[in-house]
Amino acid sequence: MSMRKTIVFILSLFFILSLPKDNLFAQPPQSWTSADMYQAIKKLNVLGSVLYIAAHPDDENTRLITYLSKDRLFRTGYLSITRGDGGQNLIGDEQGIELGLIRTQELLAARRVDGGEQFFTRAYDFGYSKTPEETFTKWHKEKILSDVVWVIRKFQPDIIVNRFPVTGEGGHGHHTASGILANEAYAAAADPNRFPEQLKFVSVWQAKRVVWNTFNFGGTNTTRDDQYKVDVGGYNPLLGKSYGEIAAISRSNHKSQGFGSAATRGEALEYFKTTGGTAPVSDLMDGVELSWKRVAGAEAISGIVDSLSSSFDLMHPEKSVKGLVRLYQAIKSLPDGYWRDKKLLETQQLIEQCSGLFLDVTTAEQFPVQTDSLRINFSFNNRLGTDAVLLRIMEDNFDSSFSKTLEKNKNFNFSKSVLVPAEKPITQPYWLSGKMSEGYYDVSKQISIGQPDVDPAYSFFILIKIYGEWITFQKTAKYKFTDPVRGELYQPLTVLPPALLSPDDKVKISKDNNTFSGVLNITGKKKGFSTFLDGVGREQVDNVKVQYSPDKLVFDEKNKVIPVSYTVIANKDNEYHFAMDANNGRKDVLHAGMKEVKYDHIPYITYFTTATVTNTKLDLKTYGKKIGYIVGAGDKVPEALEQMGYEVTLLTDKELSKNNLSQFDAILTGVRAYNTNDWMNKYYDKLMKYVNEGGNLIVQYNTSNQIGPVKAKIGPYNFNITRTRVTDENATVSLLKPEHPVFNFPNKIVQDDFKGWIQERSIYHATDTSGKFEKLIGMNDPGEKSDDGSLIVAKYGKGWFTYTGIVFFRELPAGVPGAYRLLANIIALNKKKGF
């Protein structure tokens, strides 16, 4: 390869690396229809961009995004301030960062449908907030504002669209905060004195206007006849769907939130109120040049595109490739700039698709391991016979040269083995690499901020000469396999360390002292090595003794799991990080546990945690032994109950039908059990009989709305479930009946038991409509009146019924002492004699 060509190749790599990363880490190679190609050619002559901003995944207006991207052909993005970590989960028991990972992938799936691009800030969704003031106390307003400014400067939208106003009609404090941030960022992005450290990478940017996309939902109508209106309900014959139909498919990807949506057809008006810049009169893009006239020296480009469009052959898209290559050369000759780069990439994608090039890089292993080898499989096919010659394939530790003509519809397959070096980073979502703060992820690398997804483990640069032009295609290596039910699947590659640690429990509750035991499951991810456990990492802990059995481990086969028993003897509560020799050629230690999240509607999710166990010494007394737990939407309360010393039996439809309930000292229902289980209704009489004969039924929160309607009668007496909640985890708690057994047996509940709670106090309170319930706790958020519906109990026959919105499902896994003590008392209710 000549020096000049090598320089051209390297420059093309820099160009590709500077572009936004795709979100196709788990998708098969893209294959467009001729209609997709034709629409993409038309888009080459549209130089306009729109950025939509809201607070959470599922807040975005998918119909508007679809219209903007697929009708107006604008570059369209959605900036979600958070990843939705604090929401509810209707499909599993993942909460917090795991739920945020799920909702991130659901958003990316939605964007693949509606044509938008996805961005995030560092803000953590800490749960429901009632005011923007509360929100900003946790988000660190200036930090998150800088992120919004960064995305605006990088994306360069001509207009910015808000989902929520700054005046509170959006309800959620995060919603209002997102509106405040968007409007402030509109001005700050254009000010060189705001966040000047960003200007090493981007330039200031002034959008033409910022508008609020007003709405009519949830009983609140903010639309007005004098607002600017756009009909976004059109039908696109190229796509065979209306924008409302496409939007419904997009929105239905938010499965964890229960947002399956019905398709809409016909006129659909969207309303806009200008909050910054000049108001639109005849078009949302009034005053914005949308053609190649906005790029110096590009006057001839639009004519070339028009010619390509008019001559495009739906049955033979390969006939357009020569013209596309000439267009590629013409755009490449323009001065460096935003639209030059964007349209160069779009043209490159069109060349690939119109050529019918199939460029696939896969492995048969999902988990490459540091210091082990990995076999990469390459499969190329020039399906439509374009003049294409493979010249070079390159990756960090791989570089091969070729001079291979890719023949028409002939497979060119080969494999190469590469060493996964010790310094190869594990494949960790970048926002989880540092220790997070209460309200935001710690991301110090400026250019990563806004990026939606994890950096791929392996990306290959494939240089192909097409009609004489050298073009470099970037392809992410993926794990490919065939599922007997779902067929051929692609999933992300995840680089692992040689060994992984997994504690049996993340929280260890101990009584009387801080001595506790458990099991570490150590998995060797490669064979033929030995290692040893190396104490525990800890902060400010004296006189700690750790015992392991065994302490030296030999892995003679891949994926061998060795259980190691451990005992920690300490003198106070603390958090322990278990460590071992990394055995990856470095002198550091490994304390990585791996978590996997798998659902069919999104790519596999893998992330790493420190192998951490938190020990809390509790003054905890329990009464009763056997607990029945009716599984709901999913939570980790059963594990906490076992930590408390109870024997827990999980009760599903089958188990409820065959079990004698009298064996249980108490029965608890998991969160939203009455929302998610249709079969609960047929066990109402059986459960009430259990209570009447001396049992204790404890119902954790359920929702009562269009997403989660209650599907069965719940208690012995009537009560309603409301939307009332207390979001301040430090809110004052009043014991309305301090003499009640709930606060006295077997543990004496005091104000200290309500210290150290996380995220919130309670959700979905009850109101007593029968007059039969005792209201035991009063609490409220600042500025609101006290509510007594978070914990209600009633005597029924010889037993007790309890409904509680107290968020035990959050507090118990976090090891909050008072939550354990309070729940132990509720469980003991039917054992307190003489009350």
Written as six digits, the tokens of 452 are: 């939606």
> For residue 274, which phi and psi values (nearest 5 degrees)?
-75, 130
Q: What is the reported pLDDT for 835?
A: 43
Cα–Cα distances in angstroms (integers) from residue 384 to residues 349, 374, 406, 759, in the given order? 15, 32, 10, 57
Residues 10 and 696: their CA atoms lie apart, in Å, by 71
d(CA 575, CA 539): 8
pLDDT computed for residue 284 by the predictor: 97
Residues in Cβ contact with 277 at an 8 Å cutoff, skipping those fewer than 6 apart: 186, 207, 208, 209, 210
Specify the pTM: 0.86
Assigned token pair, 566: 């451990």
Residue 434 to residues 60, 98, 107, 151, 442, Cα–Cα distance (Å): 28, 16, 23, 21, 6
Burial code (b: 16+ CB inside 10 Å, e: under 16) for 111-121 equals bbbbbbbbbbb
At residue 704, the pLDDT reads 77
Q: In the prediction, which pLDDT does 359 show? A: 97
User: Residue 611 is encoded by which pair of tokens?
Assistant: 């192998």
Beta 49-54 vs 159-162: how paired, if at all? parallel
As to burial, measured by CB atoms within 10 angstroms (0-12 exposed, 13-18 middle, 19+ buried), residue 475 is buried
Beta carbons within 10 angstroms of residue 570's beta carbon: 22
pLDDT at residue 3 in the model: 46
Residues 6+ apart with CB under 8 A from 771: none
- pLDDT for res 740: 97
Q: Per-block average pLDDT, block size 10, for the chain (835 residues)?
A: 49 49 63 96 98 97 98 98 92 92 98 98 94 94 98 98 95 96 98 98 98 93 96 97 97 94 96 98 97 96 98 98 98 97 98 97 96 96 98 93 97 96 94 92 96 96 98 97 96 94 90 90 90 60 82 90 93 85 53 88 94 90 96 91 96 93 97 92 96 97 68 88 94 97 97 95 95 97 95 97 97 95 97 52
